[in-house]
Structure 1
Amino acid sequence: MRPDYFEPDARLIAQARERIAAHVVHTPLLESPVLNRQLGARILIKPENLQRAGSFKFRGALNRALQLTPEQRAGGVVAWSSGNHGLALSYVARELGIKATILMPQEAPKTKIDGVRANGAIVRLYDKTKEVREEIGAQIAAETGAVIVPPYDDPYVMTGQATLGAELAEQAAQVGASLDAALFSCSGGGLVAGAACGVHSLVPDVAIYSVEPEHYDGMVRSLAAGTQTKAPAKAASICDALLVVKPGDLTFPVCKQHLAGGLSVSDTELKEAIRFAYRELKLVIEPGGAAPLAALLAGKIDVVGKTIGIVLSGGNVDAEKFARYITETH
């Protein structure tokens, strides 16, 4: 039974860090002198695109799977995902010898669909205009005994993502930096809610910001309204990983408590960030993973003289699209 309110505390986050430690990549903190000079700030960059399965989602999926009972493991897992959660959960399931079924929208990036299949999971493609993924997932769970692992609105998943915030805060302290703010990509809010708790478990006064694509800025609108509010989703976005129009029932109350604000970025700004990451950091970042860097480069908040942490949350992008993004002229 899911609780009405859940917030991962320091004890749960520490336990999760210990639980996943042997499996997870402790991604480094990077700095770019070019970026620091350009912004007049110290920017600490955590590249979770280097995480196993290519994104931060590995943390939440792993934290959930490692706490399945033997009976639950026998039934397997089922999840819905535009890509990264499915990639992470199918990767974890393969490593632990668990069956996995992943529901993916027909228009999900080919590299993500192929990756989930390569991990040995069953992929069930669905039509977003005619089918409800939660209903399909519930039906599969009822028929097979599989455990549903939601992409963000889940205590285990949120706690797994919180390990990323705690790791960022700890690494910043290790390089003698005192964080003023930290920016995280946002879709349903699992990353930013969990990571905010992770940062605040070690450094309570850091300002945390969510970053979303324009027209899919449900968190921005919800924070402004004080209640869950849908984004209009009136235009396409290159951020296939960030297309949830409203923050989750569990994630939003946590964000309301922990976030200093929400930001949004355009496709043009995202492409500029992808190009910058490729040129200056030699990193392959997918659009959804580039959102925090895009917000900084576009001047969405004042960072002059401050120390800012950002997470580049994923790097699972179709090669053809990535080639277009980095070669486009302004």
Structure 2
Amino acid sequence: MAKDNLTAVLYGVEDLRLEQRPIPEISDNEVLLEMDCVGICGSDVHYLVHGRIGDFVVNKPMIIGHEAAGVVVKCGKNVKNLVVGDRVAIEPGVPCRLCQFCKIGKYNLCPDMVFCATPPYDGNLTKYYRHAADFCFKLPPHVTMEEGALLEPLSVGVHACRRADVGLGSEVLILGAGPIGLVTLLVAQSMGASNIVITDLSQNRLDVAKSLGAMHTVLISKDKTEEQTVKEIQGLMPNSPDKTIDCCGAESTTRLAILSTRSGGCVVIVGMGGNESKLPLINACAREVDIRGVFRYCNDYSTALALVASGKVDAKRLVTHHFDITETAKAFETSRYGHGGAIKVMIHCQPRDKNNNKPF
């Protein structure tokens, strides 16, 4: 096996380095993966810029990256679901499987979750990485490695739409047209939403959302009051949105979500903003607007893969930039500042298309 295990390691704020790391040893229930590609998530950038997200603080060097796909090169002796050569998408969070949350099927709430690139645990922007075999999903031959990596953000969209009970005829408002807002748009369409309005501060991102099938877009502007924006959103739907998904999590967008949603509707908060927000809760209570949180995803990877494999969701349209792992610094700069209209930036640990049966 090659000894090259080039790895992207975050040492602290604005301190991301490339270095060689030992190729990891695997346990009986794990597989060793030759990593193919890793997408850059907003959380990765946040750790680089701020060194923490809430209570998760980078106190020691941490391998970055968690949106990933790779190829199995070694299997532990207990692994039955995979063989050497399988191309897989990696669900990056591995729970304990024993606590009450795991036992009732809500393993995303497991207090002992080991999640890639969430301190103190390492991520997978590295040439060789070990992972629990039961949290690796074999890709059909026609699904590319890049699409496999995109299953991570797509699973967030699946979980959000399920939490909102999006279904046939739903009128959906999505706040935020970043990568998570856009995958939520794609999933809501696949689940039968009849009308989707999406908002953002950037007209460029709204144009992308329109090209992906959003019926209406609303540009958030300081020149408009909250009341004016609510009226604009509600005017784009016959009955106002019955499902609202806040992919920003800022106080302003969560307020907008509650005020824009029709009575008896549902607001789902995906984005994570400040620890505390001033919200119109009496308004929500008086109109029986449900408010639900989202934390990552749970039992959603298989669904995300099915949506991509069937062609119902064309997630690859979100990938705007490609870089080699040796260009990690440039890739992060592109994602951080949105250079060239960046939406999803993909870092390749192997030559591009090496493991694809068709060009991406």
Greater radius of gyration (CA): 2
Q: Which has the higher strand share?
A: 2
TM-score, length of structure 1 as denominator length:
0.34
Between 1 and 2, higher relative CO (CA 8 Å, sep ≥ 6) is seen in: 1
TM-score, length of structure 2 as denominator length:
0.31
